[in-house]
A = this chain, B = another copy of it.
Amino acid sequence: MDKYVIGCDYGTLSMRAVLVRVKDGFIAAEESCAYENGVITGRLPDSGVRLEGPDWALQDPDDYTRALLKCVTAAIKAAGVFPEQVVGIAVDFTTCTVVPMDADGEPLCKDPRLRDRPHAWVKLWKNHTAQKEADDINEYVHKNGLKILDAYGFRASSEFLFPKLLEIYRKDKEVYDCAHTFLEGGDYVTFKLCGKIARSGVMAAAKGFYDNETRAFPEKAFFAGLEPGFKNVVEEKRLENVARVGSPAGTLTPEMAKQLGLLESTVVCTAHADAAVALPGGGVVKPNVMMLVMGTSTCHMMMAKEKATVPGMCAVYYEGILPGYYTYEAGQNAVGDIFDWFCKNCLPEEYKAEAERRGLSAMQLMDEKAAALKIGESGIVALDWMNGNRSVLQDADLSGVLMGLKLSTKPEHIYRALLEATAFGTKIILDRFAEYGIAVEEIFACGGLAHKSPVLMQMYSDVLGLPIKITAHKQTSALASAVFAAVAAGAYGSYEEAAKSMVPPPGRQYEPNTDATKKYREIFAVYKELHDYFGAGGGGMKKLKRLMAQN
């Protein structure tokens, strides 16, 4: 009988599971499940306690287990496989998403005594209430000349692990004290599956200051410097058992095996990060191939043999994708979000009506109109910083710009400039890699935008002057988790073999048009001029943000 594995991809709003045949990657079933409580922002469930300000983004850990049970059982049922055919399961997850947990392995927010306390809940990666703590860490590290942030572009964000923990320590000491440990969301699901804590080394390195080479968190002096009582956070909160990428965490607990309808012998793999895992999911198991994970924002992930400091990258750390390689990570804070913003806020009535009449989404209509323009015809260059700039400027206080508006400017001129700006933003990142001697030999892309906007992807290929391969399967990350499950279960001896058998070759490939590439060079030069001017603090952009904050 054929063997199968299960890959579970936990995103921000929903979870997707695939049941995959080990020998050839055939996807026997695919299920998805939106989280009942989604992203919690305004008020806490049940208690109705108000969450002040726009920075909260909490989640309900029961949504994770409910989605797991629902999708996995449905997939097994749909495919009609027997329990003994399923040899492994793995999850990938958003990071850093933090679950405060008690000694019994239950999330603190499930404790009736703590259910009305915001800090007892799961903090989603994009919960930004710990900005002060991130600022404090940055200040402390820079003042004391520490190396802790060297791997993170010299800057901690409020999305990281320790700003989140320090915030709980400061703002709700009781919750902090009640916490037996804090787990990443992915580690929590793995724990639920196998009953053992096996922290994802990928996640610990990506957002948790963990060094996969020395296998250590920062020293106590660092934590003590932030807050004396925070000195022993690693020991007191048991931040231990960090596992190497892809290593087996255990096998299913009897209870979980029963609930999922699987055997207890089913191997559970350590969790992976949802963007990083996309590379093997696209069949990329070698260095110097960049994967663009393109959705509301874009993650640029790549492996390399060598370690180099590339200024402006989000992070450079060991074993964040596959064993033995350094992971290079860059990002654009808003990509699809910008196009959404435009379609919701700037599209006149007649465009909306045309889209409806022709059965197109607003974005499909605008893609079509933008594609009909010649390169340079819009006369507009935009800066794609509507949600700040992650790479290479690493500045959340930057904002978007449109230059070249005329009385003859039409919506499609602006829209096209926005598409181009995100492509230029990617070129800035690639150019930075090249500048520091890190070769980018191939480009892959996955994610919603990569699969649904040929206009955008052709533009990226033309702007970058490189071919772009689109991953064959839309659920690139879930498929990747299945690959990890297969290797962890011993079905393959290496990721190379597993990927070769289980991942189909890229689907559509975009080839750059030489003439277009030449024309874009000139417009990119204008983008670069604006980028460097505003990026260096020109134009009063940051002053404006401060004035805005006074309101």
- Asked if A352 is at the interface of the complex by the 8 Å CB criterion, the answer is yes
* CB-based contact A386/B409 at 8 Å: yes
Give which listed residue, B338, B411, B539, B540, contacts A346 with CB less than 8 A: B411
Taking the nearest CB of chain B, how far is it from the CB of A519, in angstroms?
Answer: 8
A399 to B543, CA, bound (A): 23
Q: Which of A8-16, A97-105, A221-229, A377-385 contacts B (4 or more CB under 8 A)?
A: A377-385
A519 to B378, CA, bound (A): 35
Taking the nearest CB of chain B, how far is it from the CB of A461, in angstroms?
Answer: 20
Taking the nearest CB of chain B, how far is it from the CB of A4, in angstroms?
Answer: 41
A375 surroundings in chain B (CB, below 8 A): 551
Within 8 A of B (CB), among A137-163: none
- Asked if A216 is at the interface of the complex by the 8 Å CB criterion, the answer is no
Closest to A385 in B: B405
Taking the nearest CB of chain B, how far is it from the CB of A71, in angstroms?
Answer: 30
* CB-based contact A379/B403 at 8 Å: no
- Asked if A53 is at the interface of the complex by the 8 Å CB criterion, the answer is no
Taking the nearest CB of chain B, how far is it from the CB of A398, in angstroms?
Answer: 10
- Asked if A545 is at the interface of the complex by the 8 Å CB criterion, the answer is yes
A348 to B345, CA, bound (A): 6
Q: Which of A180-188, A445-453, A521-529 contacts B (4 or more CB under 8 A)?
A: A521-529
* CB-based contact A409/B345 at 8 Å: yes
Taking the nearest CB of chain B, how far is it from the CB of A13, in angstroms?
Answer: 17
**Given that A341-B409, A406-B400 are contacting pairs, would A523 and B544 also be in contact in the complex, using a CB cutoff of 8 Å?**
yes
Closest to A541 in B: B403
* CB-based contact A530/B540 at 8 Å: yes
Taking the nearest CB of chain B, how far is it from the CB of A549, in angstroms?
Answer: 9
**Given that A402-B402, A525-B540 are contacting pairs, would A548 and B348 also be in contact in the complex, using a CB cutoff of 8 Å?**
no
Task: Give how many copies assemble into the complex.
Answer: 2
Taking the nearest CB of chain B, how far is it from the CB of A524, in angstroms?
Answer: 10
- Asked if A509 is at the interface of the complex by the 8 Å CB criterion, the answer is no
Give which listed residue, B338, B401, B526, B551, contacts A401 with CB less than 8 A: B401
**Given that A348-B344, A401-B403, A548-B376 are contacting pairs, would A543 and B530 also be in contact in the complex, using a CB cutoff of 8 Å?**
no
* CB-based contact B544/A533 at 8 Å: no
A525 surroundings in chain B (CB, below 8 A): 540, 543
A377 surroundings in chain B (CB, below 8 A): 548, 551
Choose among A379, A400, A519, A539 the residue with the greatest number of B CB atoms under 10 Å from its CB.
A539
Q: 10 shortest A-B CB distances, which residue pairs? A: A400-B405, A526-B540, A379-B548, A376-B547, A529-B540, A377-B551, A402-B402, A349-B349, A349-B352, A399-B404
22 CB-based A-B contacts, threshold 8 Å: A334-B407, A337-B407, A338-B407, A341-B407, A348-B349, A349-B353, A374-B551, A377-B548, A379-B399, A386-B406, A386-B407, A386-B409, A399-B403, A400-B406, A403-B534, A526-B541, A526-B543, A529-B540, A530-B539, A530-B540, A533-B533, A533-B539
Besides the contacts A379-B399, A526-B547, what 9 more A-B pairs have beta carbons closer than 8 Å? A347-B348, A349-B352, A387-B406, A399-B403, A404-B541, A523-B544, A526-B539, A526-B540, A533-B538
